[in-house]
Amino acid sequence: MKKTWITTSVLGMTLVAGVTAYTYEAPRHVEAKPQTESKKKVKNVIMMIPDGYSASYATNYRWYNGGDETELDRQLKGMMRTYSASSKVTDSAAAGTAMATGTKTNNGTIGMNPSGQEVESILDRADRVGKSTGLVATSAITHATPAVFASHVASRANEADIAKQYMDEMKVDVLLGGGQKYFFDKENGGVQEAGNLVKKAERAGYQYADSLESLQETDGRKVLGLFAEEGMAPELDRELTKQPSLSTMTKKAIQTLNKDKEGFFLMVEGSQIDWAGHAHDAAWAMKDSDAFHKAVKEAMRFAAKDKNTLVVVAGDHETGGMTVGGYDEYVAKPEVLKNVKATGDQMVRQFNDDLTNIAEIVKQETSFDLTAQEVKTLQTADSKKRVMLLNEMISKRAYVGWTTTVHTGVDVPLYAYGPHSDQFAGLHDNTDLPGLIANAMKLKK
């Protein structure tokens, strides 16, 4: 009886997958096509990782966005387990290594198994058969999640080594994100020395970009885009910079990689959803979730037209223990976060030295009125805690709760679109993803 129930459930999920697999709306409706191409060799794969994103983030984002079904909702296939080799609660290095290589490893480890042996990633395998490859992130491009696809270090903190490995191997054709400090020698008052990694990349045929404008001007087959010293600006604060959005970087990466007739593998990370969760900044989390969904639209739009591209989306873990509602009331109002125009960090930077303009700045950037007690709490708080306290005051107005400042071990939603997307139905381990992708692309070990 139990076995029959499971079979029926899987069949039902497969039928649902068949109905939804080709229903991406661009801009509203593309003709639905049945999912009957599981034997077809997929030419391109776009793997997208909203770092820290769980079902709670997805639910809050849906309400934040008006309550209608989102781009990702339409492609939901199942759930994914996230634990690492060393803990039931993973970090991004171990989670990313599992998602990229199929190997569980210890927290903090990049591209190696627990014994310290290097393990091959799905990007490595795609490169080995002649496909173009790309990594896009709003963190430094040397941060844990992008790093696991093309480097091997015992500690995720070794970002300079990760950058050097990128430029030594040069197997990644498109690198877009932050992290200038790891690619430039900044001696002699900031002068870029002849030996820096950017010059090495340019000699190898990469076009270098450091702004939205210069990225748009690139037209080659290899691009190195570094848009910030370390992480890029949060989407809430991006207009204060000359940096491209995640969707712009995704579109450019696809356009560049698609010049290869052999196809491509691209990983896109919405890095700062996780950072917002660590900071308990619900508005930042929702705005960067929105930026990620816009990048998903770019990927889906390309896949819908191409018809030979698989898009796979899953967070690597959950961050912050986000809740939908809370504070002893049956209420949730994430939509009020639409009124917030800056991150908590950006607001605190605008406070004057004597902290007399707190209420004014918060009103200006959020439309919320702080109570006299809240203002006093911020004025008397330790400067290191002030941002977190402000973020929690704003989160409370949206009834978004938090249980921790680190990660949790809950399962996360798994989404897929295109040929072979039905294979992602059900509950998967994060180690399953590269194998499923390799099978879709018919890559040999």
pLDDT reported for residue 368: 98
pLDDT reported for residue 285: 98
Global pTM value = 0.90
pLDDT reported for residue 194: 42
CATH 3.40.720.10 placement within the chain? 42-322+405-441
pLDDT reported for residue 195: 59
Instruction: Measure Cα distances from 394 to 58, 334, 364, 405 in Å.
Output: 19, 10, 13, 16
For the chain, which ranges sit under pLDDT 50?
1-36, 188-194
pLDDT reported for residue 445: 74
pLDDT reported for residue 251: 98
Digit-coded pLDDT (tens) for 408-429: 999 999 999 999 999 999 999 9
Which residues are known to be catalytic? 92
pLDDT reported for residue 37: 52
| 42-322+405-441 classified as CATH 3.90.650.10 | no
pLDDT reported for residue 38: 60
- Tell me the C-alpha distance between 85 and 267, whole Å: 23
- Tell me the C-alpha distance between 311 and 327, whole Å: 38
pLDDT reported for residue 40: 82
